[in-house]
A and B are shown apart, each in its own frame.
Chain A
Amino acid sequence: MSRKIIGKVLVLFVIGIFIYSCGGAKKPQKIEKVFWPLPPEEPRILYLGSYHGESDFKGRSALDVLLGEPEREIPKNLIKPYGVAARFGRILAGDTVAAVVFVIDPKGKKVSFIGDKAMGKLRIPVGIDIDKEGKVYVADARNQRVFVYDLKGKFKTAIGEPEGPGKLERPAGIAINEKNQRLYVVDVMDHRVKVYSLVDGKFLFAFGKRGRNPGEFNFPTNIAVDRRNGNVAVVDTMNFRVQIFNQDGKFLRTFGKLGIVPGTFARPKGIGIDSEGHIYVADAAFNNVQIFDDKGNLLLWIGKFGFGPGEFNLPAGLYVDRADRIYVADSMNKRVQVFQYLSEAWKKKYPEKYRELKLYKPSNLKKTQEK
């Protein structure tokens, strides 16, 4: 008799554990606040969230999962994003495998696509930027052009000449300077930065050539414009450095070299500059983002290899928008991660959130952010 009861209890216990484990996997985990640096210091970078694509908004309800209902429609998600940009409340991520640009609208909770129609069909979208009229510029590495669309995905024009110095061999990173109406395109295979007019798309001039001296490049990939003074920072990937030029292509300074210690690079890729001139460089070999001031002094680095918030698996493109939000294309994690730089302006705008961060004492802080 008692043995039977024990048996029943055991069976129930096992079933209970089974159900618990099923539920546990689906249960939304309590998200710890992730920010850098750790509390006694002034918080600087706050993790805001990640976006994967349509499944962010079309999630199946718990009941559907329990009843095992098949998904009506397969959600279109990022596969291997590279370029990223954001403006007007939308996040744009170029996917090198799906060959489209995802336009993620977190407020409207929907995803639309650019470059999937016959007109202006993309093959390998890499660099993305948006101007103030809502025109989206997408550099396509294989089509050898920079395509221009509106935010709804209607193809407008293409930049890049078929012959001559204005020909793009493999365009990668692009950046817009709205003050002087210029489009800066990094040509990886030509080892140059080519500058076009935003007004009529005409080629203006190019700077750099292949080499190791200041002002020369070896497979440069990404570029960002300092919105304060118009300087451009170019990631010179295979020289393992960042070079800074003025808006006319005059060399100003360089920092970084090959290494595996902080302040050096092994596969520098995405770059962005915030409103205070801090330079963010994503490195695919270290799986982190290093932050420098505009002179090239290292301030901090964030992230490590992993799959959680603030962890990267081959980060690629990086973009800093006008509100100092940092977008990192986390390519092998198939998502775009968003961070906030806690500038003085942000602290004034959100004093309560700031106070919350200052007083925040999470239990497993040491575990989530390895010191």
Chain B
Amino acid sequence: MIFPYIFLFFLMTAYLYAAEDFVSLPVEEGGEYEKGIRATKHNLAEYKGKFLNPNIAGEYNLALCMWCHTQNIDVTFVDVEYKWDPEKEVDKFPVYGQTKKGPVLKSVAPSSMVCLSCHDGANAPNITFGKSSTGTSVHSHPVFVIYRKDRKYLRPYNSPLIGWEGKKHFVYDLIKDYNGRLQCASCHDPHTTNPLFLRSKNRGSKLCTGCHAL
């Protein structure tokens, strides 16, 4: 008499567990990104077939992701006490130039801050931008600048990008999330296996001609 209910209870529990698993590890997306990360230099975790991180030892997907997707990690509060200021409120740190209200800087998106936090010349190859003190440009390609669609040699917003990765179909897709400014992630995808982590293989300058018209 009671057995069907017990059976149903177990079934429900199993379903809930399964659903939770599915939510925390998106298989399709994660699989694709994971392949890209694992095969490239952005795989900071793996060394001689072992995963290195001391905090997340077993969980496979997170071990590849948490280097950059730090803010998504839930870290339970350890007993924190500021010995020099016991009254101070203990709270999470906002990461990569964001506050609770959102990003502070309009020009540099938090996603670019993630790139810059490692690519400083010491940890990883340096990203240089801006003008040097002598006035000459020292970077390879302008970044954090406004895409001027009315400029000569620059394609309009609605010109298509063919074969670009990551839902970039038109020029406007490169800048629409970043206040109209070019960011690192406009042309680079850290998860891809393309050379230089470009969003499209640059054969015949295909990537360049996505935006630049001759």
A-B complex is real: yes
Interface residue ranges, A against B (CB under 8 Å): 36-38, 40-42, 44, 53-54, 74-77, 79-80, 82, 96-98, 124, 126, 141, 170, 172-173, 188, 210-212, 218-219, 221, 237-241, 257-264, 266-267, 269, 283-288, 291, 293, 297-301, 304-306, 313-314, 316, 331-332, 371
Q: Which residue of A lies closest to B108 (CB)?
A: A332
Q: Are B70 and A74 in contact (CB under 8 A)?
A: no
A-B contact pairs, 7 of them (CB 8 A): A41-B85, A54-B133, A74-B134, A173-B122, A298-B83, A300-B84, A314-B117
- Report the minimum CB–CB distance from B132 to chain A (whole Å): 6
Q: Are B75 and A188 in contact (CB under 8 A)?
A: no
Q: Are A257 and B55 in contact (CB under 8 A)?
A: yes
Q: Which residue of B lies closest to A94 (CB)?
A: B121
B74-107 interface (Cβ within 8 A of A): 75, 77-78, 80-90, 92-99, 104
User: Which among B23-31, B46-54, B199-207 touches the partner chain?
Assistant: B46-54
Q: What separation, in Å, do the CA atoms of A261 and B89 have in the docked complex? A: 12
Q: Does B185 contact A (CB under 8 A)?
A: no
Complex contacts, A264 vs chain B, CB 8 Å: 75, 78
B188-204 interface (Cβ within 8 A of A): none
B109-144 interface (Cβ within 8 A of A): 113, 116-118, 120-123, 126, 128, 130, 132-135, 138
Q: Are B123 and A221 in contact (CB under 8 A)?
A: yes
Given contacts A173-B122, A259-B73, A284-B120, 4 further A-B contacts (CB under 8 A): A41-B84, A211-B52, A258-B73, A305-B99
Where chain B touches its partner, the secondary structure class is loop
Q: Are A79 and B90 in contact (CB under 8 A)?
A: no
Interface residue ranges, B against A (CB under 8 Å): 44, 47, 52-56, 66-67, 70-71, 73, 75, 77-78, 80-90, 92-99, 104, 108, 113, 116-118, 120-123, 126, 128, 130, 132-135, 138
Query: A172, A262, A304: which has the most chain B beta carbons within 10 Å?
Result: A262
Q: Which residue of A lies closest to B52 (CB)?
A: A212
Complex contacts, A75 vs chain B, CB 8 Å: 133
Q: What separation, in Å, do the CA atoms of A300 and B88 have in the docked complex? A: 9
Q: Are B55 and A240 in contact (CB under 8 A)?
A: yes
Q: What separation, in Å, do the CA atoms of A269 and B78 have in the docked complex? A: 22
Complex contacts, B87 vs chain A, CB 8 Å: 40-41
Q: Are B89 and A82 in contact (CB under 8 A)?
A: no
Q: Are B54 and A241 in contact (CB under 8 A)?
A: yes
Complex contacts, A212 vs chain B, CB 8 Å: 52-54
Query: In the complex, which of the residues A74, A79, A261 contacts B93, with contact meaning CB atoms closer than 8 Å?
Result: A261
Q: Are A291 and B84 in contact (CB under 8 A)?
A: yes
Q: What separation, in Å, do the CA atoms of A284 and B116 have in the docked complex? A: 9
Complex contacts, B99 vs chain A, CB 8 Å: 305
Q: Are B122 and A141 in contact (CB under 8 A)?
A: yes
Q: What separation, in Å, do the CA atoms of A37 and B122 have in the docked complex? A: 32
Q: What separation, in Å, do the CA atoms of A288 and B118 have in the docked complex? A: 16
